[in-house]
Structure 1
C-alpha cells in the first residue's frame, strides 16, 4: 500500500512542490493487474524493432536496447505530475519512414533521424515552456480539433486494413483478438456481465492483455503464427556501441540542411501528436466525472515539456524511429477504463495504474525469455493497439461535435479526410483556410464595436440632457 493518503476528491499526494514527484510505495501503490498487463503488452513497443532493423540497419539486439531506453523514459511522465500513459507519435510512422528512405542507407539515415528528433524536441519544449500547448488545446477551433481526431481515427484503421496492413499478415488471429478486445472494453453486453460476475470483472481489469494472449495462442494453433523459440538471459544496453555508432557523440551533429529538411515533418508530427493531447484531455475529464474520490490534473504544457525532454535524450543518444509522443492512446484507454470501472478500494489511485503499466512493461523488456516468447506475436499487439486508438479517436471526435453547428461538422469531416489521405500538414492547412473562409465572422468585432459606440453615444447624450 502507498504510505501517503489523499483526502477524498483531492489530488494524489506528491513531493518537490511544482515537480509533483511521486514514488512507488510512497505516493502510489503498485497495481498488479496493470503490471501483468504491461508485461504482456511489451509486444507493442517491440513491434517497432522491425522498422529499426529494416530502415536504419540497426541490429535487433540494439533495437531492443533502444526500446528499453524508450520505456524507462516513459516513466518520467507518471513520476513528475503528468498523468498520461505516454507513447509514440504513431500515426506519423509512414511519414518518418518515407523521409528517412530519401537518404542513403547507413549513417546518413541515422543523422537524418537525429535531426528530425532534435527538431521535434525543440518544438515541444518551446510550446511547453511558453505554454503554447495550453493555448492550442483551449483555443483551437472545435472543427479543427474534431478533424484532427477524425483523421487520426481513419489513419489508424486504414493503416491496419490497407493492402500491406498488419491485419492481412494473420487475419483470423488479429480479427479474433480485436473482437474479444473490443467486447471486453466497450461492449454494452460486457458492462452488466462485469457488474454481475467476478470472472468478467477479473478478465476486464486486464484490458486487451487477455484477448491478446487468447488470440496469440489461437494463432499458433491454426498455424497463422510461428511457434516461439525461447531464449534465456537479460537485455543489455551496450552503451559504448550506441554512443559510438548511433549518437551525436560518435557521429557528430547532422549537417544544417538535414535540420532544414526535417522542419516540415517535425511540424506535421506535432500536429499528429496534438490529436493525442486532445484525446487524453477528453479522457481525463470523463474520468473526473466518474471517479469523484480523486482529482486528475492534466497540463498540456507539462506534458509537452516532458515529451520534449524525451525526444532530446533520444535525439542525442539513441534516435528512435517512432519519435516520442504525448500519449499511447491504447494503453491510456486500458488504465482509464479500469480506473473508471472500479471503486477506490479496488484501485486506490489512477497513478498506481498508469505507473504500474510501464513498470510491468519495462521489467518484461529486461527479460530475454519474455521478449523471445512474444516475438512471433508482435503484429497482433500493434494491430490491437492501433484499432483501439482509431475507435477512441473516432468517438471522441463525434462527442466534440455533438453541440456544434453543421458547418463545423462539415469542416471537421473534410479536415479529417484530407489529414488521413494527404498528411497532417495538408489537413491542418485546409482546415485553417476553411475556418477563415467559412466559420470566422470577420465583421463581428467591427459590428460589436459599432454597436458599442452607438450605445456610448446614446449614454453620452442622455447624460448631457440630465446635466443640462
Structure 2
C-alpha cells in the first residue's frame, strides 16, 4: 500500500491525514502537515481583505480604528480553530447579511445599547449553530438536501459575487479598470485555463509561479495599477513592526464585561435576524461540501471529510468568544468561499509530491493571513491594493460556484429549478415583505426552490422518468 508523508507522519493512500484525538481531530504544524509556503504567502497578501470591515466597525459600532484592526487580527486567528481541529473549512464571515446587520443595529442608540444589540445577535447565532450542530439536525438536512436546490444556492451565490464585481457603484471597474482587468485576466488564466495547465507540465518555472494561486494575479494588478496611477504608493510602511494591540482598551470599552448583558428586548429584536444569518450560513455549508467533494474526486490519495456538526460547534465557539470580548459585525460563519476555492484549486492541481496533504494548504493560508495582519509593514504595503485582492476573491468565488452548480445538476429540470432559485436569491434581496428581514432574499429563494422541487421534481415514492436520450450527430 502506497504511503504519503506530510510533516513527520505518513498516511495510507486514500485515507484521512493522521491526527490526535477523537471528535476534534488535532493536527499540529510540522508534525501532522507541512507548512505550504505558497498558501502562506497567499494568506499574507489577502490580509488586506478582512480589513475592509474596519470602517463599518468604526462607524456603526463606534469602535476606535486601532481596536477594530486588532479585532480583525483576533478573528483571523480564531479561523485556525477549524483546520487545527479537523474541519476542512476555510472559515469566514456570514458576509451576505452585513447590510441587514447594519440596518438592525442602527435602530438602537449609539454607544453601549448598540453594542449590546450586537452581542445579543452574535450570541443567538452562536446558539443556533450549537443546537443544530450538537443535535446533528443540520447534518441530516445537508445529506438529504435536493440537488436542484443545492445548485440553486450555488448559482445564487455565484451570481451575487459576480454582480458585486461588475457593479459600477463598486470601485473595481469604475475606479481601477486597467489594473482590475489585468489582475483578473492574469489570475483566472493561471488558475483555470487549459493553456495554463499545459504550460505547468511543460515549463517548470511556470508551474512554480502558478503554485502561488492568487498571488501572481494580485502582483500583476498591483504593478499595472501603480504604473497607471490607479493604485497609490504605500505610505508609513516602516513606521513600526507590529500593529497596535489594545487588549485592555477592547475589553474595557466594548466587551460583555464592560457594557453588560443584553436585555430580553435586545434578544427578541435580534431573533429573526439570527435565523436569517443562519439561512445564509447554510448556503455556505453546501458550498463547502461541494468543494470538498470536488477535491476528493480530483485527489483520491487523501480523504477530506466534512462533518457539519463539528463545523457548527466550532462556529458556535467563535461566535461566543467574539460576543464576550469584542462583538464582531460580520459574525462568525462556516466558510469563506474565496479562500476555500483557492486552497481546493491548488490542492486539486498539485500532485501528492507537490502538496502532500490538504491540511497543509488549508492551515497555512490562515497562518499567513493572521501573522500578516499582526505585522505593520505587510499591512501597509498590501493595503493600497486591497480592492484588487477583494475583486479577485469575488471573481474566483463566482466562477467556482457557477461551474459547480452546473456540474451538480443531472438533467434539465434540475438546471431549470436551480436557475430560477438562483435568480430569486439575488433579485429578491431588494424586497423585504412585511417589513421583516426574515422575508428577504434567502428565505424567498429557499421557498421558491422548495415549492418547485416538490411540485415538479419530487416523485413521492414513484420512479423518476428518465430524460429522453439525445441522438448524437455524426
> What displacement does 1:208 show?
0.9
1:16-38 residue CA offsets vs partner (Å, 9 max, x unmatched): 22321110111111111111111
Query: What is residue 279 of structure 2 aligned with on the other side?
Result: 271
The count of aligned residue pairs is: 443
Query: What is residue 358 of structure 2 aligned with on the other side?
Result: 350
Distance change (3 Å), C-alpha of 1:158 and 1:78: same
Say whether the 8 Å CA contact 2:178–2:224 is kept in structure 1: no
Query: What is residue 96 of structure 1 aligned with on the other side?
Result: 101
Distance change (3 Å), C-alpha of 1:225 and 1:106: farther
TM-score by length of 1: 0.90
Say whether the 8 Å CA contact 1:418–1:427 is kept in structure 2: yes
Query: Counterparts in 2 of 1:18-417, with a 5 A limit?
Result: 18-167=23-172, 168-229=174-235, 230=237, 231-401=239-409, 403-406=410-413, 408-417=414-423
> What displacement does 1:5 show?
1.4
Looking at structure 1, the residues matched to 163 and 12 of structure 2 have their Cα atoms a distance apart, in angstroms, of 45
Distance change (3 Å), C-alpha of 1:211 and 1:333: same
Residue 427 in structure 1 maps to residue 454 in structure 2: no
> What displacement does 1:66 show?
0.7
Distance change (3 Å), C-alpha of 1:102 and 1:160: farther
TM-score by length of 2: 0.89
> What displacement does 1:109 show?
2.9
1:64-118 residue CA offsets vs partner (Å, 9 max, x unmatched): 1111111111100111111121111222222222322333333333222222211
> What displacement does 1:394 show?
1.1
> What displacement does 1:405 show?
4.6
Query: What is residue 13 of structure 2 aligned with on the other side?
Result: 8
| SS of equivalent to 2:23 | helix
| SS of equivalent to 2:121 | helix
Looking at structure 2, the residues matched to 49 and 73 of structure 1 have their Cα atoms a distance apart, in angstroms, of 17
| SS of equivalent to 2:297 | helix
Say whether the 8 Å CA contact 1:267–1:425 is kept in structure 2: no
Distance change (3 Å), C-alpha of 1:109 and 1:221: farther
Between structure 1 and structure 2, the one with the greater Rg is: 1
Say whether the 8 Å CA contact 2:234–2:384 is kept in structure 1: yes
Looking at structure 2, the residues matched to 323 and 206 of structure 1 have their Cα atoms a distance apart, in angstroms, of 29
| SS of equivalent to 1:5 | strand
Looking at structure 2, the residues matched to 255 and 36 of structure 1 have their Cα atoms a distance apart, in angstroms, of 44
Looking at structure 2, the residues matched to 187 and 103 of structure 1 have their Cα atoms a distance apart, in angstroms, of 49
Looking at structure 1, the residues matched to 423 and 230 of structure 2 have their Cα atoms a distance apart, in angstroms, of 33
| SS of equivalent to 1:17 | coil
Distance change (3 Å), C-alpha of 1:137 and 1:183: same
Looking at structure 1, the residues matched to 453 and 353 of structure 2 have their Cα atoms a distance apart, in angstroms, of 47
Structure 1 runs of 4+ aligned residues shifted over 6 Å read none
Distance change (3 Å), C-alpha of 1:160 and 1:264: farther
1:198-237 residue CA offsets vs partner (Å, 9 max, x unmatched): 1221111111112112212221221112221113231243
Distance change (3 Å), C-alpha of 1:208 and 1:104: same
Say whether the 8 Å CA contact 1:156–1:386 is kept in structure 2: yes
1:288-316 residue CA offsets vs partner (Å, 9 max, x unmatched): 22222211111111111111111111122
| SS of equivalent to 1:6 | strand
Say whether the 8 Å CA contact 2:94–2:277 is kept in structure 1: yes
Query: What is residue 438 of structure 2 aligned with on the other side?
Result: none
Distance change (3 Å), C-alpha of 1:39 and 1:271: same
| SS of equivalent to 1:217 | helix
Distance change (3 Å), C-alpha of 1:255 and 1:175: farther
Looking at structure 1, the residues matched to 164 and 103 of structure 2 have their Cα atoms a distance apart, in angstroms, of 15
**Unmatched segments (≥5 aa) in structure 1:** 449-468
Query: What is residue 465 of structure 1 aligned with on the other side?
Result: none
Say whether the 8 Å CA contact 1:152–1:272 is kept in structure 2: no
Say whether the 8 Å CA contact 2:24–2:310 is kept in structure 1: no
**Unmatched segments (≥5 aa) in structure 2:** 1-5, 429-440, 464-474
Looking at structure 1, the residues matched to 116 and 56 of structure 2 have their Cα atoms a distance apart, in angstroms, of 16
Residues 11-20 or 262-271, more deviating? 262-271
